[in-house]
Chains A and B, each alone.
Chain A
Amino acid sequence: MNRLGSGEGLMFFAFIFIMGILGAGIVWGVSSFFGSGYDGRNVEASTLLDSLKVCFQEHDFFSPGFDVSKECGLNANVIDDGKHFIFVNGSKSFIYGVSDYINQCNFEGAKLNSGYPVCVNGTFVKDGARFDVVVGSNQRGRRVNYG
């Protein structure tokens, strides 16, 4: 009784392993050559900062119940999607969105890691008082399947 077989099946997992290594190498090589997507988070944060700059001059951010999305013409669903952050700091402070972004944006090495949000800094002056502003964004293009 020959129950050992011809041994063809023994190489099955080795075959898959080699294919995996080959595939990973090709994917890595192609990705390195063509680059990794388009990152417009910095631009989005800058645009939001510009919008807020105008709004800040016209409204009192520090009044109780101030609704930044309503008063500044921003879509509440987008600004509240957990990927945006607004922080105004001076004699008073105003914070909106994901408050932890203030930490994440200032971590050493965060700029080298695309998983962290991108923040831009600015300065507002109103009634002679200076306010530092940080606006952050971590929104990326989302893949949508139609198949």
Chain B
Amino acid sequence: MNSMILFAIVTLLSYLYIAQISNNFMNKKGASGGDNVLTWNLAYIIFAVLFAAILLGWINGVRDGASLWEDFYAQEISRAINSGLPGDDVYIDITPASVIGLKNGILKSEMFVVDNVDNSVSVRLTKNSGTKFNYFNNVDAVNWTIELVSGSATTNRLHFQIVEVQK
């Protein structure tokens, strides 16, 4: 997504630059000495606005801690699976992550995904990206659900079971 925005900016600026050079060669009006002030100012303004938008978007992403919590929970869930034995029930408090994920419009079923084929845990708290981490323990983690902690409506927890490899 970011690379597409960058590509759009570079394309736009290249276009404006080429248009400016062409205008200089044409120099038909001569009023501004062949240098179209409006074009340059437009290029500066567009560039500055896009630059600020990208920067603010990034700061906003860092500020709510989405990438940090994704990284944290992907590794901690993998750690729980690595330490687990078949038959274990695992409960993990995921309140900080679920608050961010739900705020960003991510479905509960998409927030935490385990892939028992390639032994990975994916945590996704934003629309565009997530974090993946592999676990080395040769077990499967099944029946993943996000549920409310008993007695509290403001905290969520992730529950899953560890079983023998089924593949």
Give A residues with C-beta under 8 Å from B: 1-9, 12, 15-16, 19, 23, 26-27, 30-31, 34-35, 37-38, 40, 43-44, 47-48, 50-51, 69, 73-75, 77-79, 81, 84, 139-147
Q: Are A75 and B137 in contact (CB under 8 A)?
A: yes
Query: Nearest Cβ in chain A — how far from B85, in angstroms?
Result: 10
Q: Are B137 and A73 in contact (CB under 8 A)?
A: yes
Residue-wise, chain B 6-34 has the 8 Å CB interface mask toward A (1 for contact) of 00000000000100100010010010111
Chain A residues in 8 Å Cβ range of B68: 34-35, 37-38
Give B residues with C-beta under 8 Å from A: 1, 17, 20, 24, 27, 30, 32-35, 37, 40-41, 43-44, 47-48, 51, 55, 58-59, 62-63, 65, 67-68, 70-72, 74-76, 78-79, 82-83, 118-119, 122, 124, 127-139
Tell me, in angstroms, the Cα distance from A3 to B59 when the chains sit together: 44
Chain A residues in 8 Å Cβ range of B79: 40, 43-44, 47
Q: Are B32 and A145 in contact (CB under 8 A)?
A: no
A6-B37, A15-B47, A30-B62 known; A78-B74 Cβ under 8 A: no
Q: Are A143 and B75 in contact (CB under 8 A)?
A: no
Q: Are A2 and B127 in contact (CB under 8 A)?
A: no
| Nearest-neighbor residue (CB-CB) of B76 within chain A | A40
| Nearest-neighbor residue (CB-CB) of A23 within chain B | B55
Q: Are B35 and A7 in contact (CB under 8 A)?
A: yes
Tell me, in angstroms, the Cα distance from A69 to B137 when the chains sit together: 9
Chain A residues in 8 Å Cβ range of B138: 69, 73-75
A30-B62, A146-B130 known; A141-B75 Cβ under 8 A: yes
Tell me which of B20, B55, B118, B122 contacts A144 (CB under 8 A).
Answer: B122
| Nearest-neighbor residue (CB-CB) of A7 within chain B | B35
Q: Are A26 and B35 in contact (CB under 8 A)?
A: no
Chain B residues in 8 Å Cβ range of A37: 67-68, 71
Chain B residues in 8 Å Cβ range of A81: 134
| Nearest-neighbor residue (CB-CB) of B69 within chain A | A38
Q: Are A4 and B128 in contact (CB under 8 A)?
A: no
Q: Supply 8 further A-B pairs (C-beta < 8 A) apart from A5-B24, A6-B32, A6-B35.
A: A16-B47, A31-B62, A34-B65, A40-B75, A73-B138, A74-B136, A141-B75, A146-B129
